[in-house]
Chain A
Amino acid sequence: MPNVQFQLNGAATAVDADPDQMLLDVLRGRLGVTGVHFGCGAGECGACYVMVGDRAVASCDMPMWSVAGKDVVTLEGLGTAEQPHPLQRAFITEQAMQCGYCVSGILISAAALLKRNPSPTEAEVRAALDRNLCRCGSHNRIVRAVLRAASEIAAS
């Protein structure tokens, strides 16, 4: 099996993997990264999003051959309780979830958006999150939290 090298949450990572295996399987099954969630396996729900550059990408639909050399960020790489990302702080402040299963992918979509566009409008936030499904109906809290994080970043 070829050795695939990439950056995972800022750390150089090498893993022997079938080039056609999906990144999600490798992250969860081989590397123990549980901040990426399986939802549909078809790139339709966003629960498994990782950030590659400034884009949110479905890791269930990203074969390992395409990961080589990329800079991949999962929820684990966003921040920690000690040093939270403004989005993580804002999601706690806004209590922006019910079950929270989809939130790992939504935080990634939001982080990628803020990289591309640090001061999005509400409509831009909604458009950026449109590929992330939430079944509990926490959408509006989530949008508020993203806007809060954006204004916090702008103020800092």
Chain B
Amino acid sequence: MTAASPAPKLPVSLAANPRLSSWVNFPGKGRVAISPGKVEIGQGIVTALAQVAADELDVEITRIEMIRASTATSPNEGVTSGSLSIQQSGRALRHACAEVRQRFLAAASERLGVDASLLSVEDGTISGPGNVRTSYWELAGDVSLDHDATAGATAKSAAERAVAGHSIQRVDIPDKVFARPRFIHDRALPGQLHGRVLRPDVSGAKLIALDETDARAVSGLVAIVREGSFAGVVADSEAAAEAALKILRKTATWSAGEALPDEDDLAGFLRSQPVETTVIDTRTATTQKAARTLRRQYTRPYIAHGSIAPSCAMAQWDGDRVHVWTHSQGVYLLRADLAIVLKLPAEDIVVEHMEGAGCYGHNAADDVALDAVLLAKAAGDRPVRVQWSRHDEMSHAPFGAAMAIEIEADLDADDEITGWRHAIWSNGHAARPGRATQPALLAATEIANPYPRMISTNPAPANGGGGDRNSVPLYDFPAWTITSHRLLTMPVRTSALRTLGAQGNVFAIESLLDEIAALRSEDPIEFRLRHLRDERAKDVIRAAARRARWKPQKRAGIGHGVGFARYKNMGAYCAAIAEIEGDDDIRVKRLTLAVDVGEAINPDGVINQIEGGAIQATSWVLKERVRFDRTRITSTSWTDYPILGFSEVPVVDVEIIQRPEIESVGAGEAAHGPVTAAIANAVYDCLGVRVRDLPITRDKIIAAMELAS
């Protein structure tokens, strides 16, 4: 076969894991096993990846079994995050499957005596002229996939693909509506015991004393584990474990903890801490004297992941080896941290993925895995399942970092932008496991020889950045300086939450643009289009505007606003238009979005992600804020940390600009920034006040009105 345009080099994930058999296998007649390193976290990725494989192999998608990631067998694709799965795993699978298909065609050609170029594949059956035929499964014994991928295989062109680009039904949904155990929470292991961990209410408190006597009397108790400030129970049922924990909690003496900031002055706190300062980007122009400078500060609070299921894990020891079941986003990364804490070679630890509830970033999935491993030490060779409480989930899991952002915009006499300075004060947005010489897991800071709490850092700007994500304008301002101040203290534990800093930065940039357009009495959409050079960016803004019939007639009590970003400045393009109803309170009535992810492999999957992102962002903007006093997190229940409910959810209308010829990028984080800004701008349109301090609640609106008057 002649390759028309062979891939010049292997996709990143395939280059790192070149063995074809680690991605594709034919385990039995009529079956295909596809083994990506990325994991299902409620985003539908396994379906999209199955589509890619079905296309390249020419098999019905129903033949494909998607194998859950495990360090025992799977390719190492790092972490399932950053909206990179379709990009990294999808490209690797497309290329690996194309090469597998090519190898089978070569074998079929030999067996059938027909030139490979005359053969075709239909649902795994290979046939050619003269009614000769064989199949992947007949040839499986002759074709070894224990070969490294080469750069020569040619994947199908967009036009040749039959499955990608179509909205097929997700493979996991039938299990979930028919109550077939699929979540880690529901998959009991034989002989399993149950563990619970005792954690302090006060942030960073150390366990000084513990009286185990009464807890030992609980029927069904197997063990009480104490190692430094790490303490927990193992029992034969969840009820017994919880009963023992409740008694133990009453007998625990804790040290004073560490002081938390003033929740009502987050900007003051963030701007007063020791920081590491990085200039992210500068653009210089011949200095023009500014007629005036607008200086605005924007803030967002700490935000909780708030998955509906608390984190859960299982662990089972076999001598010095341990097997862990987890809903972590990165099985290899978790294994690396476990190896540090346990002082074991990584090969002695198997970490296997099982689906959890929706995951929006670095939650407590990794933490609870170490909890299970430590408690299982007291269970001999029996597996121990540990599940966090709602309280611990809302107080001990990492939060999305609070941010203070100050922008100074220099304006000329016509209020055109001549200079732009954007500065961010925030904790780092990533403290994931497996990336440092010290572990990032909670219990590692509690055990007898504790590791220090890892201070969050930021991914490099080339990888999308962290606190600085989306801080460099996509607009053609003549000059700018973008500066990130990362805090070196971390009284409130932070790590990756959906979009990292992009939500805050897009909110800030798009709010100030809106304000300047209003100063100029210029339509905010025209103003944006005039400052953009990228046609794909302009297309999503125009599409959203068209779909929302921009700009609707002004009506009392109704406001409209727009927001736009290209996620990470290199991912999906998304424009959002919000329609809100406002008086004392804000109700978001309708969100109209247009999105461009390049080739949308599963268009309905993309729409689902954009809808979900838009609704989650609306919840962040209108309601969410982690609450604390000076010693403890106080928003530890759904009453104290309310999220948007069914009656409050806006209509969400999404248009996809399908571009089959352009490589796909992820959709999961594209909507948050634009929707946040669109709502804030609609609030101004409706009420005439700029709320620059999230969330936009009744109190914040009143405060903004007082400030304005």
Contact = CB atoms under 8 A, between A and B. Distances in A.
Interface of A: 21, 25, 28-29, 32, 34-35, 37-42, 44-45, 47, 74-76, 79-81, 84, 88, 91-92, 95, 97-104, 107, 123, 125-127, 129-130, 132-143
A139 B615 contact: yes
A45 to B, nearest CB: 6
A133 to B, nearest CB: 6
A44 B637 contact: yes
B458 interface: no
The dominant DSSP class at the A interface is loop
Contact of A135 (B172, B186, B308, B389): B308
A126 B645 CA distance: 9
B475 interface: no
Given A42-B390, A91-B177, A107-B177, 16 more contacts: A29-B237, A29-B238, A34-B181, A40-B638, A75-B179, A92-B174, A95-B604, A98-B612, A99-B356, A102-B357, A135-B358, A137-B613, A139-B615, A139-B649, A140-B615, A140-B652
A104 B177 CA distance: 7
A102 B615 CA distance: 16
B668 to A, nearest CB: 10
A88 B180 CA distance: 13
Contacts of A84: 177-178
Interface in B625-666: 637-639, 643, 645-647, 649, 651-652
B467 interface: no
A135 B608 contact: no
Contacts of B355: 99
Contacts, number: 159
B44 A98 contact: yes
A130 B238 CA distance: 29
Nearest to A138: B612
20 contacts: A34-B185, A35-B179, A37-B185, A37-B308, A40-B390, A47-B309, A92-B169, A92-B173, A98-B358, A99-B41, A99-B42, A99-B307, A101-B307, A130-B647, A132-B646, A135-B643, A137-B649, A138-B611, A139-B649, A140-B652
A99 to B, nearest CB: 3
A70 to B, nearest CB: 20
A139 B355 CA distance: 21
A139 B390 contact: no
A2 to B, nearest CB: 16
A67 to B, nearest CB: 15
B43 interface: yes
A38 B387 contact: yes
Contacts of B178: 75, 79-81, 84, 88
B611 A100 contact: no
A87 to B, nearest CB: 8
Nearest to A98: B42
Of A34, A103, A107, which is in contact with the most chain B CB atoms at under 10 Å from its CB?
A: A34
Contacts of A103: 176-177
Given A38-B185, A41-B390, A100 B647 contact: no
Given A34-B179, A84-B178, A102-B308, A130 B170 contact: no
B358 A136 contact: yes
A121 B639 CA distance: 28
B183 interface: yes
A148 B389 CA distance: 36
CB-CB nearest 10 A-B residue pairs = A99-B42, A137-B615, A35-B179, A137-B612, A101-B357, A100-B176, A99-B358, A34-B186, A44-B638, A40-B390
A39 B309 CA distance: 5
A126 B587 CA distance: 15
Contact of A97 (B41, B176, B238, B613): B176
Given A25-B239, A45-B638, A127-B647, A39 B390 contact: yes
A60 B637 CA distance: 15
Contacts of A74: 179
A143 B619 CA distance: 18
Contacts of A135: 306-308, 357-358, 360, 616, 643
Nearest to B188: A32
B11 interface: no
